[in-house]
Structure 1
């Protein structure tokens, strides 16, 4: 009556009631399913002595209700049921025949062990988990940007199930795997559990700070909801705006838990742990040191050879210039005559008469990457100018590959017809007082610039100083050009330069890994640009020197390959940490109503350990998450075991002992067999968190192996089969429908892991659009779990057969029956294509006889032989309409789509 009064005439009182915050339930007011695990004795049932304890609990309840349990199903039914259940694929006819003929008493247990040991088990179970983790490979919302690096999380989950990773470790890794040294790179991929939901890119980039703040709050609520419902079976997110109306979770509890994730963001990051990164860096340093040693030994041998040749070329009084680390003379090609910094002609660049010809419009040369870092250096070139009035062209440039830093011999940029050292934003550039070039027909000009580590820069022209040397200070000091991230350009000032192309020619270019002295520059100029050719050097090399150089080259190649492999660090879309910001309670959840500051804290309602996480202000995001992960995965936490044991039960029986498998609070369903639930949870804990042991315990029970026939007593007292007097027939999920069709037709590609297949074309016009296609090719016929889970590109078969939107947490799929399902199976491209493939397969494997083709088709699709009536009808269909019609009919049969 009071509520009637309020609604009908309360006016302001009604508004006040809406605005009032519900009083929080006492944190000592326990949830029944949050109590410590019980260890009740098994029901005393002499008939089940030595049998699976699951059956003792189930049969005891059935006896009390007066419902008989069904007998064991036949072997054909069992192998099809358990294979579809554990693999999501049908058994082969050969596997069925072998199991049916196996005389051993433990034949079924051996079958189960084989199925659990197969990598297909992980692929099947991972699909269940990815539903909980709302795994998606695009952002969703209006832009739906693809996440091409999200797939490592999927592979991590598959591997975790196949490896039988202890469940507490599985939990810890998905919350804070990047903080667990023992988890390595896979621990980083595991944290995608927190990040993989939908992301409102537009809202997070909005001009309005309020819109961005609201988007962040929505993101955090989604993160907390996923953690709470998946691992604890609690709807923590219901306390965002007010105290939870049913469970003892206050709004303060919500924001204290939210503050754990105050520094948690999402994005691409290297899949490399701290430990792996340190080890990798040490190994890279070792390889770089050895590469440098090999390069020095190579240079020493080459110096001996070159000096020998040059002494034989002229009189003994000839001057020998310094030896560069790279040299290009363009006699035959753009090869580096000393090392491996070979050049590639770009644009309209060409070689003629031993020179690199540059038109100043679209031509330059680009070399391979430097194998060693450089700080001190000398750039040297012999060049000719085509036009005196050109401005800013680079003759020889050393630059980082991205163009962010460079040194270049530049003509006429800041002063007409005057040379200078070019650098990014002129940081190391100084104007010089020197005579401008005045003769475009002049012979080759010798140019050099030396750069010391202490910041001294000197320019030279024809062996003489060009202007005065100058000294750099502070931030302008020469940078280090790193190995494998640096190359040289000839004819171009730097990457991205608008007017940086040089018009002229280069006769020779050299690079030194030190700053030459004035005497050495002068000697090099006098010695000239005609160093010995590659042919002369080869002719003067002794057999021992050839062997040494070949050995050095081989070792350099090996070390370079090792370094390239070490530098190839895969990228994963996962958690990206930033410095945690202050968290405040938001009254009524409103971003414009901040209240008291809160610090990280877990939930008081669970008494397995104190909720205080001992988080200090200086702790990083990862350290906060690790504290929470340890609190949740504590073996004394009863919800850790109950929730997961219930999920595994649901995966096999269609409904959990607690039907609301992600809500163990007061608004959730009460358990149908509370003692059994605690026994299963206790078994999971006693096994150290072995999920495979729990799966085995369930599927080897008599309860699981029952026939699917419904007795009159069960129909009258337990129509929903909550007491499990029979096996519940159920339709395959969408992914299994597609996979089974491909497996039966013989077209399923068993390739495991790696980047997801993309059966669509991506088009971008502000947002991303996915144009679907269906191709009968191996790369498109992988298992459905390897299909890229894009929110706005859902495959017709999967969507029609109740596959949920990837970004939505789906603890349990609810099957529907719609006309679209029949139409998709009748007319869809997949079924039409694979019906033809199955027809080809049965003709190939059974021969031309219709009788044998029918028997083979039934054995492949239904794992049994046809009855006499089915044989007659199927032969008539095959003879009249062809094998593809028979295959089409089998794919459309209820028996093919149903687990019985």
Structure 2
């Protein structure tokens, strides 16, 4: 017998094409009795969906083989699978019809399309002719079931076919109406009449702006005799700023917009709101959709980005922010699984939002329904995973900024020359002997330590043994300099080694030679630091953003990471495991303060087998940990080393600055303190000369820097008016540099190919998959050295990609008409719905591109059709023949979405602020539009969520439409709603009107029309009833108040009586004599003797007792 869950693996898509679009094909002319019919309509289904589980020479589930005629007729354990001539009695037909939910075919559980089932029925009805006399050979079976054959069959599904450029013939109707009318005539339906002008105006305003028309706007439209008045208002609404706010919210649904990462702590995605503002601006400016799509995938990589020159903003660079809006768990112990999860989220969102296909379904195996292979998935995975989470600077560095930076460079050169002149003069004041040394030198020695300017002098004065040990240490360090290299170790004074790293920021594109220096941005001193060779983020300004990333390193053994770094202002150093951007537990972060050089060690033993990279960043430029309020921050890096766990690099940090002393003496230790002082002077003079020549060594830069830090070279502003003037000028220009516009984004480094994971198991990597597009369209691997996002963006809008245009026009139709031509806007694959009007969809897609990918033009085209303008009242025939209104004989009734409900409440109450646009997200009962409401994953707005605002977890092209009691209760009891109602009730304009005028005004503001007679009557009766109730309540209130006053008077009388009684009793108590205690009956005064002076008790002295002194 057949098993309850029969095993047909895939569903064939191509058969349905002839039923969905285009003219009849050659295949459609074949009959169920012909061989062509079997070869074209039956065998492909059997090969694709059946052979995997039902073969003569392989799997034969339920004893059934379907790869030859005899096996098909014989059937399996349940008997014959078909009865030629009788499809209804054929078991195969019953199973593919899903008549018994416990016994269905194919195995996937997805039912075959109705046209395919009808083909099988017709074939069996005509005797089931089958030319397969013998089971196929293994080679033939392989050809029938290999992926390439399956993919080619699946490519025949309607959405993967080229877009038809077929027009609407000679019809005088609007093209939309002509194509809609064609379908209506096929079933004999008539279109509904045009809706009333009030309804049209309201429909248009809500659709384009998300707000109702004002009474003044409505009145203007109704009284305008111009036959083009409607079109004028279409253009007015499309040109309004509110259009961008409305349609940006739709777009935010598509890319699951969020401003936090979720999980424990729910950290904010820094400046995610900049993306929302970017969308609003782009939509209001009608930026072409192909340009927006390029920006969403690779806006940071465009050679000619879109620049807002007025605000010096690189708009294109902001588009990739949506790729950062993924969920991140807290401190995952398996970083690779976390990376797979959030990269899968990126792939899922990108493919659904812009291609309406589910590429993520091919993570563990070839797609079960669509022509998407597992290799396609990992080709995209490599593209996404090659980029790293980070902050992107969207500030456009224009010519003005460039000139300022050149001015700073020139001033810096002039200041350096003035400093050299000052300091060379200062050399003449240098002590020739220790006896001549100033007090500051002697004080410096007393508090010096290793790495300090005075330490050699301190060792020389301490003892001969201490001096000898010191110089031996310096000599040994000098001899071993640079000896421990190789493997994953980098010294950034070597340009070749530095070129393997990736810098982001104005000063991070290359390393600097030793001797570069930085100025203090304020304060009494001039020089901040003289620097050895390395990467630095602040060579021009500490306001500049900066990030430095290492290549990708695979930890094949227990390792320690060592960084020779400095920094200040809260800059950060960390290692990122599998691109995970958060910190916590096994994800440490080092905050840099103070500006001193040091080796920082990170132990990586826990992460053996994982891939890591090193990140250094300024305070506000970490992907998640960004300290956005820190305006000035900087870091520097000289060396990075991955060493076997337990090993350490040679630590010359404390002694390297003494190399100039050793070199000036040619390795010979000084004889005495005066000899050493002479070497101090000579080494400083040489360092200044090398600084002037630009040929400094790292050690000389450190040595000169110590002289400055220890205030042994004049570095104050007040010591030279010319130097002061130039320094102040430098600071003034530096303060005028534009601050960065930081947005979340992707930092592109070197691309790598992702291994295909066996059944999606991260622990079972197989062969590497070259990065590339979807192979059904183009299997050519990308040749880019970076991740390939730019090529992916170009492939999304390539002329032969049929999905991009169809998907976006369907989304526009969905948001305008309430349902898409394809009712599953996020899935154009086999599991999605086919289009109700294929020719209309293709016409719109073709026109969309011809119109320059303009979203506004597409919307204008749709809303000027009669189909859009129709009444929502369905005829009886429409309800009978087309209950779901898939043929668009009338307009769909639609409920307002969550944001529009909230915005309309504010608008009606007169509190909506439509002037303020853009900016940081808001919380609570603010009065701006809901698009600006904070979207925090763990704390979503309760009002919007209740009315079906989407949870930001995946693409939402079609919102849920629920009807739950909580919605009514929210509108009755929510403080926000009550506040809106009270504000409206307090409108002084309403108070000046009579009841009828007030009802009319409130109706017009709420519903865009005057009330009907019935509505007015109901309102008047309701108000009269409320007035009467209020009067009765007031009367009861007065009665209760009067009764309350009586009781209060009675209570007061009782209180006074009680108090009087208490006072009386207290007064009586005061007049009563004091109670008398016991009276004495005996008393003695021993100065007078032992006799009782009061009574008769006389004492007798015995035992030698005497009375003395009383």
Q: TM-score, normalised by structure 2?
A: 0.55
Which among 397, 405, 414 is matched to residue 285 of structure 1?
405
- Is 1:829 the counterpart of 2:975 in the alignment? yes
Q: In structure 2, what is the equivalent of residue 577 of structure 1? A: 748
Q: In structure 2, what is the equivalent of residue 34 of structure 1? A: 160
Structure with the higher fraction of residues in strand conformation: 1
Which among 794, 798, 820 is matched to residue 656 of structure 1?
820
Which among 477, 488, 496 is matched to residue 701 of structure 2?
477
* Inter-CA distance 190–562: structure 2 relative to 1 (3 Å threshold): farther
Could you tell me whether the CA contact under 8 Å between 2:658 and 2:699 is conserved in 1? no
* Inter-CA distance 637–513: structure 2 relative to 1 (3 Å threshold): same
1:598 CA drift (Å): 1.3
Secondary structure at 1:28's aligned position in 2? helix
Secondary structure at 2:953's aligned position in 1? coil
How far apart, CA to CA, are the structure 2 residues paired with 1:641 and 1:321? 78
- Is 1:196 the counterpart of 2:318 in the alignment? no
How far apart, CA to CA, are the structure 2 residues paired with 1:371 and 1:113? 60
1:262 CA drift (Å): 2.8
* Inter-CA distance 375–249: structure 2 relative to 1 (3 Å threshold): closer
Q: In structure 2, what is the equivalent of residue 339 of structure 1? A: none
Could you tell me whether the CA contact under 8 Å between 2:657 and 2:703 is conserved in 1? no
Q: In structure 1, what is the equivalent of residue 714 of structure 2? A: 512
Which among 197, 202, 210 is matched to residue 88 of structure 1?
210
Could you tell me whether the CA contact under 8 Å between 1:454 and 1:477 is conserved in 2? no
Q: In structure 2, what is the equivalent of residue 233 of structure 1? A: 356
Could you tell me whether the CA contact under 8 Å between 2:177 and 2:867 is conserved in 1? yes
Secondary structure at 1:604's aligned position in 2? coil
How far apart, CA to CA, are the structure 2 residues paired with 1:790 and 1:611? 40
* Inter-CA distance 290–867: structure 2 relative to 1 (3 Å threshold): farther
Q: Where do residues 490-639 of structure 1 align in structure 2 (5 Å cutoff)?
A: 512-513=714-715, 560=731, 563-606=734-777, 610-616=778-784, 619-621=785-787, 624-639=788-803
Q: In structure 1, what is the equivalent of residue 381 of structure 2? A: 258
How far apart, CA to CA, are the structure 2 residues paired with 1:106 and 1:787? 37
Q: Where do residues 404-803 of structure 1 align in structure 2 (5 Å cutoff)?
A: 404-405=594-595, 428=657, 452=684, 455=687, 474-475=698-699, 477-478=701-702, 512-513=714-715, 560=731, 563-606=734-777, 610-616=778-784, 619-621=785-787, 624-759=788-923, 774-775=924-925, 780-803=926-949
Could you tell me whether the CA contact under 8 Å between 2:525 and 2:715 is conserved in 1? no
* Inter-CA distance 371–569: structure 2 relative to 1 (3 Å threshold): farther
* Inter-CA distance 455–662: structure 2 relative to 1 (3 Å threshold): same
Q: In structure 2, what is the equivalent of residue 326 of structure 1? A: none
How far apart, CA to CA, are the structure 2 residues paired with 1:182 and 1:479? 45
Could you tell me whether the CA contact under 8 Å between 1:428 and 1:472 is conserved in 2? no
Secondary structure at 1:704's aligned position in 2? helix
Q: In structure 1, what is the equivalent of residue 367 of structure 2? A: 244
- Is 1:844 the counterpart of 2:973 in the alignment? no
Q: In structure 1, what is the equivalent of residue 182 of structure 2? A: 60
* Inter-CA distance 592–450: structure 2 relative to 1 (3 Å threshold): same
Superposed CA deviations along residues 37-86 of structure 1, whole A, max 9, x for unmatched, are 112231555xxx1x321000111211221111111111111111100010
How far apart, CA to CA, are the structure 1 residues paired with 2:920 and 2:377? 36
* Inter-CA distance 832–374: structure 2 relative to 1 (3 Å threshold): closer
- Is 1:809 the counterpart of 2:999 in the alignment? no
- Is 1:4 the counterpart of 2:4 in the alignment? yes
- Is 1:119 the counterpart of 2:237 in the alignment? no
* Inter-CA distance 4–729: structure 2 relative to 1 (3 Å threshold): closer
Q: In structure 2, what is the equivalent of residue 325 of structure 1? A: none
* Inter-CA distance 367–89: structure 2 relative to 1 (3 Å threshold): closer
Could you tell me whether the CA contact under 8 Å between 1:288 and 1:372 is conserved in 2? no
1:427 CA drift (Å): 5.9
How far apart, CA to CA, are the structure 1 residues paired with 2:269 and 2:5? 54
Could you tell me whether the CA contact under 8 Å between 1:646 and 1:661 is conserved in 2? yes
1:197 CA drift (Å): 2.4
How far apart, CA to CA, are the structure 1 residues paired with 2:418 and 2:687? 29
* Inter-CA distance 797–6: structure 2 relative to 1 (3 Å threshold): closer
Q: In structure 1, what is the equivalent of residue 79 of structure 2? A: none
1:266 CA drift (Å): 2.2
How far apart, CA to CA, are the structure 1 residues paired with 2:207 and 2:61? 52
Could you tell me whether the CA contact under 8 Å between 2:260 and 2:937 is conserved in 1? yes
Q: In structure 1, what is the equivalent of residue 1004 of structure 2? A: 859
Superposed CA deviations along residues 402-444 of structure 1, whole A, max 9, x for unmatched, are 644369xxxxxxxxxxxxxxx9867647999879xxxxxxxxx
Stretches of structure 2 lacking an aligned partner (at least 5 in a row): 8-52, 63-106, 109-141, 308-313, 423-427, 431-519, 532-565, 571-592, 598-651, 662-669, 675-679, 690-694, 1031-1110
Q: Where do residues 97-496 of structure 1 align in structure 2 (5 Å cutoff)?
A: 97-183=219-305, 184=307, 185-203=314-332, 206=333, 211-272=334-395, 276-277=396-397, 282-289=402-409, 368-369=522-523, 403-405=593-595, 428=657, 452=684, 455=687, 474-475=698-699, 477-478=701-702
Superposed CA deviations along residues 354-393 of structure 1, whole A, max 9, x for unmatched, are xxxxxxxxxxxx993579655679xxxxxxxxxxxxxxxx
1:107 CA drift (Å): 0.3
1:560 CA drift (Å): 4.8
Which structure's CA Rg is the greater one?
2
Secondary structure at 2:151's aligned position in 1? coil
How far apart, CA to CA, are the structure 1 residues paired with 2:684 and 2:1015? 90
* Inter-CA distance 213–287: structure 2 relative to 1 (3 Å threshold): same
Could you tell me whether the CA contact under 8 Å between 1:232 and 1:639 is conserved in 2? yes
Could you tell me whether the CA contact under 8 Å between 2:525 and 2:716 is conserved in 1? no
Could you tell me whether the CA contact under 8 Å between 2:379 and 2:773 is conserved in 1? yes
1:731 CA drift (Å): 0.7
Could you tell me whether the CA contact under 8 Å between 1:139 and 1:201 is conserved in 2? no
1:814 CA drift (Å): 2.1
How far apart, CA to CA, are the structure 1 residues paired with 2:866 and 2:524? 69
Query: Root-mean-square deviation (CA), in Å?
Result: 4.3
How far apart, CA to CA, are the structure 2 residues paired with 1:454 and 1:845? 87
Secondary structure at 1:573's aligned position in 2? strand
How far apart, CA to CA, are the structure 1 residues paired with 2:921 and 2:1005? 26
Could you tell me whether the CA contact under 8 Å between 1:375 and 1:479 is conserved in 2? no
* Inter-CA distance 191–399: structure 2 relative to 1 (3 Å threshold): closer
* Inter-CA distance 2–572: structure 2 relative to 1 (3 Å threshold): same
Q: TM-score, normalised by structure 1?
A: 0.67
How far apart, CA to CA, are the structure 2 residues paired with 1:878 and 1:451? 97
How far apart, CA to CA, are the structure 2 residues paired with 1:376 and 1:572? 32
Could you tell me whether the CA contact under 8 Å between 1:55 and 1:701 is conserved in 2? yes
* Inter-CA distance 563–13: structure 2 relative to 1 (3 Å threshold): farther
How far apart, CA to CA, are the structure 2 residues paired with 1:562 and 1:141? 44
1:193 CA drift (Å): 2.5
* Inter-CA distance 845–581: structure 2 relative to 1 (3 Å threshold): same
* Inter-CA distance 373–474: structure 2 relative to 1 (3 Å threshold): closer
1:105 CA drift (Å): 0.4
Could you tell me whether the CA contact under 8 Å between 1:233 and 1:661 is conserved in 2? yes
1:175 CA drift (Å): 0.5
